[in-house]
Chain A
Amino acid sequence: MKQKIRDILGKHGGLPVPVETLADDADLYAAGLSSFASVQVMLGIEEAFDVEFPDNLLNRKSFQSVDAITRAVSSLVGNAEAAE
């Protein structure tokens, strides 16, 4: 799941640095993730995992890092896939 998320971040995140250089807990906003791009990442994730983010997950914290996104997506797709 993390790799899939990283791929989406690389494609839609508009980050000035390669995603591979960022640790799982690195602050994506500090790395240059704009609010516009964060929405594009959310859309990419919704499409890839066939989920919809409920409003309580639509805040900065859920998209702060690869780890945070993984947690948010895991809570939506169930724990089975998250364990991958």
Chain B
Amino acid sequence: MTLTVGSGLAERAERVSAVAAAHADDVDVKGRFPREAVDAMIAERLLSIQIPAALGGEDASLSQIAEVCSLIGQSCSAAAMVFAMHHIKLSSLVSHGAGDTWHSGFMRRVSDEQLLLASATTEGGIGGNLRNSICAIEIDGDTCRLTKDATVISYGAHADAILITSRAHADAASTDQVMTVFTKDQYTLEQTHVWDTLGMRGTCSDGWLFKGEAPKEQILPKPFAEIAAQSMLATSHLLWSAVWYGIAVNAVARAQAFVRAAARKSPGVAPPGALRLAEASNLLQLVKSNTIAGLREYEAAKADPDRLSSMGFAVAMNNVKIASSETILSIINQAMLIVGIMGYKNGTPFSLGRHLRDAHSAQLMISNDRILGNTSNLLLVHKQDTSLIG
């Protein structure tokens, strides 16, 4: 399969990226939602590209969506992350809701109205372990009700619908979870935490007390455990990696512009930083190769639920996330060393502060320690794949 985004899609993503770039610093300084970039995504109809054409979408592959994430990430990490998180939620609907009347109809609405989807998996008392819930959905006749102390709902205040996890019923074990779609008119949010962070400030991942009521058919028909294993785990690690790659690409582009400017001023003399640029380019290629390999593995496994829920696949996706989240920090740090004070200062064409701060979120969104713990547990029984080509 090809990783090239169809010409139309790439051009649309470039236009969004240009809008995102114009507002990226303001979004970062004010810690505000990247409204202009998201409006541009809506205008370019990028919020529905993943949805099947029969439901108004464009059947875009995960690789195509990843390319859009990377293109926007080169301009504004927050806007790219909002786009990525929206499509991670959408992947759960596309993979697990397609055969179901309500969820198919909802995907049609997402296409027609370009609705923005948010996620509420984090809960007070549970932390980042999304495979556990304290709250339980209450089913009363045809209605379901849920109250959740969601300590993080990224862009919760700006979303048109929230996909939220809970225990399947009042007596369910903490790991026996379901995910339910609530549309904006079906819930209230009361703010409990303010997202004032080092980086990724524009995702506005505030904490909220969620209270919702909806028809019970809006509960996704599969257990959340399957949804997590078969769509969320892989799409999260891959689309996040694409965003992070985009951040690193722009940092290297800035460092390269700096080195080239120095080279033009004194031809014949290798500018300081040229060697570091070569090293950064090497690391950037590793992140790219790693992400592409992960995307290929996903596309190959996509039609096979057993393969998607296999240990080998989980280990591979975990490894993609660990490698890209760690390596982008080395890359941006290299870029900073190349550019020097002009990178450290805000407001220069070579500024890298925002890149570095945004990139620091990568190791924390699902903590790398948690992911390594999970991989190390799997490796107690899973045997390494010893082939090179797979």
Q: Which residues of A contact B (CB under 8 A)?
A: 15-17, 29-36, 39, 42-43, 46, 53-56, 58-61
Shortest Cβ gap from B28 to chain A (Å): 36
Which residue of chain B is the closest to A54 with respect to CB atoms?
B383
* Chain A residues whose C-beta falls within 8 Å of the C-beta of B175 in the assembled complex: 29, 32-34
Shortest Cβ gap from B312 to chain A (Å): 5
Q: Does B346 reach chain A (CB closer than 8 Å)?
A: no
Shortest Cβ gap from A14 to chain B (Å): 10
Known A30-B176, A33-B175; contact A53-B381, beta-carbon cutoff 8 A: yes
* Chain A residues whose C-beta falls within 8 Å of the C-beta of B309 in the assembled complex: 59-61
Cβ of A29 and Cβ of B381 under 8 Å apart? no
Shortest Cβ gap from A56 to chain B (Å): 8
* Chain A residues whose C-beta falls within 8 Å of the C-beta of B367 in the assembled complex: none
Cβ of A43 and Cβ of B381 under 8 Å apart? yes
- How many chain B residues touch A (CB < 8 A): the figure is 25
Shortest Cβ gap from B13 to chain A (Å): 35
Shortest Cβ gap from A9 to chain B (Å): 14
* Chain B residues whose C-beta falls within 8 Å of the C-beta of A59 in the assembled complex: 306-307, 309-311
Cβ of B381 and Cβ of A42 under 8 Å apart? yes
Query: How many Å lie between the Cα of A42 and that of B311 in the bound state?
Result: 12
Cβ of B223 and Cβ of A55 under 8 Å apart? no
* Chain B residues whose C-beta falls within 8 Å of the C-beta of A60 in the assembled complex: 225-226, 229, 309
Known A30-B223, A60-B226; contact A39-B377, beta-carbon cutoff 8 A: yes
Cβ of A30 and Cβ of B380 under 8 Å apart? no
Cβ of A58 and Cβ of B176 under 8 Å apart? no
Cβ of B306 and Cβ of A61 under 8 Å apart? yes
Known A29-B223, A30-B176; contact A46-B381, beta-carbon cutoff 8 A: yes
Q: Does B193 reach chain A (CB closer than 8 Å)?
A: no
Cβ of A58 and Cβ of B312 under 8 Å apart? yes
Most buried by A among B172, B311, B382, B383: B311
Query: How many Å lie between the Cα of A27 and that of B380 in the bound state?
Result: 24
Which residue of chain A is the closest to B173 with respect to CB atoms?
A32
